[in-house]
Amino acid sequence: MAPPVRRRRDGETAPKPPEIASVLAGRALVRGRLQPVEIAIDPDGRIQSVGRTRPGGPRRDVGEAVILPAATDLHVHLREPGGPTDAETIPTGTVGAALGGIALVAEMPNTEPPVTDADRLAEKAARVRGRAAVDVLLYASPTDPRALDRLARTAGGFKLFLAPTTGIERPPLPEEVAPLLRRLAEHDLPVAVHAEDPRQFPPDARARDPVGWNSARPPAAESAALALLSGAPDRLRLHVAHVTTAASVDRLRREGRSFEVTPMHLLLSDRSGNDAQYKVNPPLRPEAERHALWDAFRRGEVPCVASDHAPHSAAAKELPFDRAPSGMPGVETMLPLLLARVRAGELSLDVLVRAACDRPARWLGQPMGRLAPGHRANLMVVDFRAREPLSARRLHAPCGWTAYEGWEAIRPREVWKDGEPIVQDGQYVGRPSGTVVRPEYAPGRAAG
């Protein structure tokens, strides 16, 4: 289509400049350095230009605060359907995400019932519409081979659990994994894998605390699972979830795979606390291992960081350690904790933005995660002077607890979705405009 023209005074015609809906001015990372910028946003909520812009539309100047792309969280459990609703729901979890600087969450299929066929996927998509504060990509579980082809037409991706965990009693047998991966490679969808090989779990292990849990599900189970995955077809869009050791980072880098680490494995060890709040799958590792993972992360060797937000009610976590469920909340605290590490000089902002915003969005085929023309204007504004201790009382999550009570955090002051503020002064001000998204490279249509 030809651009609209307007008549110049001299009678010549010139292309009409595209419309600007608003301008956000502040500081931003440009080629690795913080510089003053003006971001022009078009009427469709996309970034039109970054740099100096001509006047037009309302202008908001955030001064010395830093404008970053909003993040994509590749790994959340919002617990619908099946509950428990005192742990999380789609509305509460997506508002928590927004408050934590996240504009897209990828939701896991280990709900009750699990998302194993197209009808269940459509049912979950219906729960998102009109109730989600941010966009949601829905993973499906590929365990029913008869349902797979239909499921692939509407799912946002697949999640494969190789070990038992919340809602997963019978993972595929090791000999079933390679044929399943070949089947999945027929579909052009992201496939995230929970990589623990239960053959490496000592059969008689009885864990009473996180140290025991680390022995019951040892790092050897992670390496064995990575060995199982190393034969995956090259065209499979494989991504390994919650990697816990520096050896796994080295291996996956050599193999050129996508993978994530979580804030809990970066910041907590098996000695951080004794109770079941610290029980997660895969387990927290010893301090030396945590330290090595953190070093790899800060060197920029880890492509993605994801929360593995897995809330359970406070009552469930008060059960004796061996009977309590695994998982902890994290969608609202991931960026605030890591932004505080940036402020402390322990992590570069550039490394964090690539791992939390750019690469996760790219892996899911989404036009966001960078301050670049054409990307959705999903943004956050961070005031690095605004440090505060985290407190469960002030978090949105209904479960009411965090493993990071009192930890230093920097919460985003503003979050924008498609050019509109959804968080202002640290408060949620949006409406449930979140939609179900799929990778833009995938054939088919959105679920439901």
Are the C-beta atoms of 73 and 106 separated by less than 8 Å? yes
CB of 77 to ligand DOR, least distance (A): 4
In the block, residue with structure tokens 């991931």: 334
The helix (H) or strand (E) run that includes residue 214 is: helix 210-216
Rounded CA-CA distance 158/187 in Å is 10
Q: Which does 223 bind (CB under 5 to 8 A by kind): Zn ion, ligand DOR, none?
A: none
- Tell me the closest approach of the beta carbon of residue 219 to ligand DOR, in angstroms: 16
Give CA–CA dist 132/448, Å, rounded.
Answer: 15
Q: Is 39:28 a contact under the CB 8 Å cutoff?
A: yes
Q: Which is nearer to Zn ion, 163 or 379 (CB)?
A: 163
CB contact at 8 A, 70 and 103: yes
Burial class (CB in 10 A: 0-12, 13-18, 19+), 1: exposed
234 is catalytic: no
Would you call the peptide bond into 142 cis, given omega within 30 degrees of 0 as the criterion?
no
Contact between 327 and ligand DOR by CB under 6 A: the answer reads yes
Q: Does residue 281 touch ligand DOR according to CB under 6 A?
A: yes
Q: How far is the CB of 165 from ligand DOR (least distance, A)?
A: 4
Residue of 194, 251, 359, 438 that binds ligand DOR (CB under 6 A)? 194
Task: Give whichever of 196 and 308 is closer to Zn ion, judged by the CB atom.
Answer: 308
List the single partner that 326 binds among ligand DOR, Zn ion, none, CB under 5 to 8 Å by kind. ligand DOR
Phi-psi domain of 392 (left: phi exceeds 0; alpha: psi -120 through 50; beta: other): alpha
Which partner, ligand DOR, Zn ion, none, binds residue 222 by CB below 5 to 8 Å per kind?
none
Q: Which residue is nearest to ligand DOR (CB)?
A: 327
Query: What part of residues 9-48 is at the interface with ligand DOR (CB under 6 A)?
Result: none
Structure tokens at 22: 């608003």
What is the footprint of ligand DOR within residues 158-177 (CB under 6 A)? Answer: 165-166
Of 73, 308, 358, 383, catalytic:
308
Mapping DSSP to helix (H, G, I), strand (E, B) and coil, where does residue 263 land? helix
* Residue 326 engages ligand DOR in binding (rule: CB under 6 A): yes
- Give the up-direction half-sphere exposure of residue 178: CA atoms within 13 A in the CB hemisphere: 5
Which stretch in 152-160, 320-328, 381-389, 432-440 sits in contact with ligand DOR by CB under 6 A?
A: 320-328
Contact footprint for ligand DOR (CB under 6 A): 77, 110, 165-166, 194, 280-281, 310, 325-327
Which residues are catalytic, by number? 308
